[in-house]
Structure 1
Amino acid sequence: MEVKRQKTRNPWAWVPSLYFAEGMPYVVVMTVSVIMYKRMGISNADIALYTSWLYLPWVIKPLWSPVVDLVKTKRWWIVSMQVLLGAAFAGVAFTIPLPGFFQYTLAFLWLLAFSSATHDIAADGFYMIGLDEHKQAFFVGIRSTFYRLAILTGQGLIVILAGYLESSTGLASASVSVKAINRVENQAMTGFQNFHIIPEAGPLHLVAGMEELEISTNVVLPAQADSILHFVKEWNTKHRFYPQEIPQTVTNSETGTEVSWWSENVSGPLGQILQKHFGPTVPVKKLEQTVGNVGVVYFHLSEKPKETPVAVNLSWKSGDKSIQLLEGSRFVFDKFNWNQPALAVIQLDPKLKKASGAVFEATSGNITFAWVTVFFILSGLLVGLFLFHRFVLPRPAGDRPAVTQDGRSPFSEFFRTFALFFKKEHIGVSIAFLLLFRFGEAQLVKLAAPFLLDAREAGGLGLTTGEVGLVYGTIGMIALTVGGILGGWVASRQGLKYWLWWMILAVNLPNGVYVFLAYALPDSFITICIAVAIEQFGYSFGFTAYMLYMIYISEGEHKTAHFAITTGFMALGMMLPGMFSGWLQELIGYQHFFIWVVVSAIPILVVAFFVKIKPEFGKKLKE
């Protein structure tokens, strides 16, 4: 007896997990891979070059979105890509221990990126097919929330797990307490140059050269901090504490020195062109002549390592994040330098004026084992999501390959898909809406954090790094999540047409809180938090209209491919305004810049007059 296929299922059973599965590979490719390569000793230039290219599949995914629409079902693509993602994660894990791990892991990360971008296309298409307009409107906030949850899991829990494995699979950790104090005296440089290390009894372990370092909160001249930083770099390089990075280098024909291929052929020439044609014509007056004070801590081994070198990672563990590690995040001890101190520079935020403290911990471990374990766990997670979705995803009647509907050839249908999008009614207005909806927000997002961090003399609020992390990472995230869920709920009750204008205003009017902050420069941290929460809530609430409008104009034949095209316009609408926002702010200052951001709402308000939306779209209809 044939089991009847379930065509419908409660969306709560699959929407959250589907969009969690969509976000996890993205954050691993774009963020976690960078951290892994840094831990594995790859040079910064090569990390930036090769991991930046991994973003390409998401940029060009509209080019192959018709294939997903024309071949097989969206459900087939989702479960197939999840299997492929699980295999790609496993491939990364298997190749990390190999001698040529950089090239091999990059190949599997490319597979991850392509599979993830394809999964995005299929998941978005399935969302539109599997839900009616009312449920699409209701769950648009839920899907965004679980996508963000995946991003937070990747940037937080996954990295924390890797760090825990790195520190728990090696020698016992060693820590030093750093105190910011309100007095003139400073322990910037301790007398370690003549320090004589004697082997200690017992098993090999890390030793902190001091239990506590005190740094005065008084600011110093940049030359003072630079001299200490330069000394520490030279010391660690001379004693071979810095790991041998693996750059793809070439020899500079003029200087004879080895530089990265990226620096030689791309960043160097481009930087010279930009400096020549767009550099400042008059000296820029520096508003801050001082920097945060610095101090030096050091570590060594208790005895000579017996076989392999010991890689040590130094990082902030707890306390005030306004006290940060400036230099010396990773050392390598071997049989030649084990009895020399490895140095690290700690710097205070120049805006920190009160007594405070932080703990920095040096850990060692099997870095390769840690990242192999993490990627095997990720592989198991994606395989588990595949098995879950294999049985839980519904089989809606509309989920059919478009090419089988009337027998057209895949080749002609591929180009026809793009043509149909640009033949949609009022497509010019739709594209203008996609490009201009976030015109103000795209500029604000680039300068909001710098404004919070900049000194008051420069027109900013002078917050510390730790305070900005609290504002955006905790309070802002809560407001963002609540706004997204509420936006989806209200849109599902009265439809997109009813809420369109309100949501456009919700995205743009709260930007005015930055005008208030720029002119008032309030000292109250609570006031600043409330202002940022208002802006984040308004953005997330109003962004619901943007997502629903993308779904609306994608309706009809080839909705999956057409939604992917709208995401391309969304990315363009964020990229172009962001490119000139910093330049504009430097010309007119924060106060006038934030006024301009609010004024930037005018174009979308004009376009909104011409937007045509069916009154019933997104609304729950009475039976």
Structure 2
Amino acid sequence: MKNIDHKPWYWIPVLNFASGLPYAIIISVSVIMYKNLGINNEDIGVYTSLLYLPWVIKPLWSPFIDLYATKRKWFLAMQLLISIAFLVVGLTIPMNHFFVISLAVFWVAAFASASNDVASDGFYLIALEKDQQSFFLGIRSTFYRLSLLTANGVIVILAGYLEEQYSDMHKAWSYTMIAVGLLMTLITIYNYFSTPKTEKVIVKNSVEAQKASFASVFASFFRKKQIGLVLAFILLFRLGESQLLKMLTPFLIDETTVGGLGLGTQDVGIIYGTFGLIALTLGGILGGIAISKDGLGKWMLPMILAMHLPIIGFVLLAHFHPSLLYHIQWDLYFFNFDYNFNVYTTLVVVLEQFGYGFGFAAFMMYLIYVAEGESKTSHYSIATGFMALGMMLPGMASGFIQEYLGYGNFFIWVFISTIPGLLLSRFLIFPKDFGKKSA
């Protein structure tokens, strides 16, 4: 049931922020946390990549979200569960065997977050008209990525500040995760009051009807045109990015003696939380506007190149290790920032974040095209499930590949890994004006 009079600017930004924040904490910030708490790169690569699994297999239960209750009830319930899980993680970090215990709780949060994504994506597709979907795609993608940068920027800065204040990594990260749980609680409350009630509850009463619905949902997806090529593209498009994301933070933090840049936790947080944040915002907004104006066909190739070419910057950083150029220190209320400003590192991050914000809009718009038709919520979930599989498997191997190749050759390998997805994109068939705003 469409309703275009419910002021989507009020709910789209925060709803998508609520999708990205738990994902970033579970998949990305956990890498920084475990690195600072003494876990080695191989274990980080394997176990934090396994946390992708709920996003991979979410199509298995996504039909339940279609069949029972409303998308709104689902994402509100899942966001509340995520809030509780992060609070529990914060309480377990000071314990013995914190690694195993926190991973187990992160798993619960990951399943809840994947379910939240299914419900939020379905709500977006139901509540907006198609031309609104293309226009707000850039806003949606931007605020999703803003949540990732909030996690990797603001949250990491907070953790770095607490590390310096307490000289105790476990206490610092415990307080940080509790703060994340409280933030997620506030976001859930906001979404409860801001999101519109646009859906009608349709319950399949008979077991036969439920089985038919499950079977038809999955069968209809795999009958789509070019499905083999489509799945190959989805799986390989993020092959390079999946490895980059896992080893980028260790590269920035590791000492120069082992090939890293030797940045502090606050340095990394400020780079991503300020300069990266601005670049991502501009890139995401421009990406959505470009597709809305000209359609996906014109922008698919330029946007893919915009995403992947900045990896060359990390290749150069790893080989030349530019020295720190400026030391900046300032007081902000009770925060004392001590920041090493490296022009070259910051420039590379800015280009990467802008390219990602601008380019990822094309990939997400294509997934919306793939999901077109009946059961679009479940079909979109299946498509993003394959996307998550393409992130999980290479990410699991990334730590071992990096240790074998070293950071310099690893980033060259990451850049080479982007080529298969680029080549496959040239054979995809879709309406060239898909996503273009109607007159």
TM alignment of 1:55-204, pairs within 5 A: 57-79=54-76, 81=78, 114-150=111-147
- Select which of 279, 282, 287 maps to 1:487: 287
| Pair 1:496–1:400, CA change in 2 (3 A) | farther
- What displacement does 1:570 show? 1.3
Moved more, 518-527 or 565-574: 518-527
- What displacement does 1:116 show? 3.9
Partner of 2:429, secondary structure, is coil
Distance 2:403 2:102 in 1: 41
Aligned to 1:10: 7
Distance 2:111 2:123 in 1: 18
Aligned to 2:297: 497
| Pair 1:145–1:132, CA change in 2 (3 A) | same
Aligned to 1:464: 263
Paired amino acid for 2:276: G
Distance 1:376 1:514 in 2: 33
Instruction: Find out whether 1:395 has 2:198 as its counterpart.
Output: yes
Partner of 1:14, secondary structure, is helix
The structure where strand makes up a greater share of residues is 1
User: CA contact under 8 A between 2:145 and 2:280: conserved in structure 1?
Assistant: no
- Select which of 399, 412, 422 maps to 2:222: 422
Distance 2:183 2:69 in 1: 27
Paired amino acid for 1:546: F
Give unmatched runs, 5+ long, in structure 2: 34-38, 93-97, 326-341
- Select which of 371, 384, 391 maps to 2:189: 384
- Select which of 396, 413, 422 maps to 1:605: 422
- Select which of 354, 357, 376 maps to 1:537: 354
| Pair 1:569–1:31, CA change in 2 (3 A) | closer
Q: Deviations over 1:570-616 (max 9, x none)?
A: 12212233344444455555554434333333312321121011122
TM alignment of 1:512-523, pairs within 5 A: 512-523=312-323
Partner of 1:568, secondary structure, is helix
Distance 2:408 2:30 in 1: 38
Instruction: Find out whether 1:511 has 2:314 as its counterpart.
Output: no
Aligned to 1:351: none
Paired amino acid for 1:411: K
User: CA contact under 8 A between 1:91 and 1:105: conserved in structure 2?
Assistant: no
Aligned to 1:237: none
Paired amino acid for 1:381: L
- What displacement does 1:427 show? 0.7
Distance 1:496 1:416 in 2: 29
Distance 1:596 1:499 in 2: 26
- What displacement does 1:437 show? 1.1
The structure where helix makes up a greater share of residues is 2
Paired amino acid for 1:475: F
Question: Could you say which structure has the greater relative contact order, defined with CA pairs below 8 angstroms and 6 or more residues apart?
Answer: 2
User: CA contact under 8 A between 1:66 and 1:414: conserved in structure 2?
Assistant: yes
Partner of 2:437, secondary structure, is coil
Instruction: Find out whether 1:574 has 2:377 as its counterpart.
Output: no
Provide the alpha-carbon RMSD of the alignment.
Answer: 4.9
Q: Deviations over 1:402-434 (max 9, x none)?
A: 959x99701221122112211111111111111
TM-score (norm 1): 0.54
Q: Deviations over 1:531-571 (max 9, x none)?
A: 23212321232111111111110111111111111222112
- Select which of 423, 432, 452 maps to 2:232: 432
Give unmatched runs, 5+ long, in structure 1: 37-43, 97-101, 165-313, 319-324, 332-362
Moved more, 539-548 or 594-603: 594-603
| Pair 1:443–1:160, CA change in 2 (3 A) | closer
Paired amino acid for 1:317: Q
Distance 1:129 1:595 in 2: 42
Partner of 2:133, secondary structure, is helix
Aligned length: 410
TM alignment of 1:266-305, pairs within 5 A: none
Aligned to 1:185: none
Paired amino acid for 1:385: Y
User: CA contact under 8 A between 1:482 and 1:537: conserved in structure 2?
Assistant: yes
Aligned to 1:316: 164
Distance 1:380 1:119 in 2: 14
Aligned to 1:183: none
User: CA contact under 8 A between 2:3 and 2:198: conserved in structure 1?
Assistant: yes
User: CA contact under 8 A between 1:89 and 1:378: conserved in structure 2?
Assistant: no
Distance 2:237 2:144 in 1: 21
Moved more, 411-420 or 476-485: 476-485
Distance 1:141 1:585 in 2: 33
| Pair 1:485–1:575, CA change in 2 (3 A) | same
Q: Deviations over 1:448-487 (max 9, x none)?
A: 44444566676x4644325444434432333233222221
User: CA contact under 8 A between 2:50 and 2:392: conserved in structure 1?
Assistant: no
Higher-Rg member (1/2): 1
Q: Deviations over 1:53-85 (max 9, x none)?
A: 987644432210011123344344345555776
- Select which of 1, 18, 22 maps to 1:21: 18
- Select which of 418, 424, 442 maps to 2:242: 442
Instruction: Find out whether 1:596 has 2:417 as its counterpart.
Output: no
Partner of 1:555, secondary structure, is coil
TM alignment of 1:217-366, pairs within 5 A: 315-317=163-165, 325=167
Paired amino acid for 1:500: M
Aligned to 2:338: none
Paired amino acid for 2:220: L
Distance 1:572 1:439 in 2: 10
User: CA contact under 8 A between 1:133 and 1:619: conserved in structure 2?
Assistant: no
Instruction: Find out whether 1:551 has 2:368 as its counterpart.
Output: yes
User: CA contact under 8 A between 2:58 and 2:115: conserved in structure 1?
Assistant: yes
Identity percentage of aligned residues: 47
User: CA contact under 8 A between 1:498 and 1:615: conserved in structure 2?
Assistant: yes
| Pair 1:21–1:517, CA change in 2 (3 A) | closer
Partner of 1:617, secondary structure, is coil
| Pair 1:589–1:558, CA change in 2 (3 A) | same
Distance 1:599 1:34 in 2: 24
- What displacement does 1:122 show? 1.1
